[in-house]
């Protein structure tokens, strides 16, 4: 999904972490607003942002939670998703707000084009 949308694996640099919902049973959710930064500059001198999308990451059977500086919305420095031995791990550093690690046995991603 993300590969098709962006044409590459996104790093989520400067993306907005809009929501974290945690559940010991059932679904835990992260909602992230991200985009692609172009090499074009607008009349104010800012880079033009394109391909806005809200990514909803749904985790089932969460096995680990580690959060620091819990403040939302947060700004993500980078986000990495890995999988090992049947467990998915999301790890991100916040350039503002919350940083964390979540591990779960199942993970889904849903994309909603546009801004939140």
The domain locations on the chain are 2-113
Q: Please, which pLDDT band fits residue 9 given cuts at 50, 70 and 90?
A: confident
Q: So what's the pLDDT on residue 2?
A: 76
Q: What is the pLDDT of residues 84-116, one digit of tens each?
A: 999 999 999 999 999 999 999 999 999 999 999
pLDDT in tens, 11-30: 899 999 999 999 988 999 99
Place of tokens 């990451």: 57
List, as own/partner pairs, every contact residues 79-87 make where C-beta atoms lie below 8 angstroms and the sequence separation is at least 24, other chains included.
79/11, 79/12, 79/15, 79/32, 81/107, 87/63
């Amino acid at each position: 999904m993300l590969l098709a949308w962006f044409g590459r694996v996104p790093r989520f640099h400067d993306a907005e972490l809009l929501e974290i919902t945690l559940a010991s049973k059932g679904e835990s959710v992260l909602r992230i607003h991200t985009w692609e930064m172009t090499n074009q500059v607008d009349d104010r001198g800012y880079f033009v942002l394109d391909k806005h999308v809200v990514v909803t990451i749904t985790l089932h059977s969460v096995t680990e939670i580690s959060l620091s500086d819990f403040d939302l919305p947060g700004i993500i420095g980078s986000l990495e998703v890995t999988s090992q031995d049947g467990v998915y791990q999301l790890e991100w550093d916040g350039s503002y707000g919350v940083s964390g690690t979540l591990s779960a046995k199942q993970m889904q991603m849903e994309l909603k084009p546009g801004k939140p």
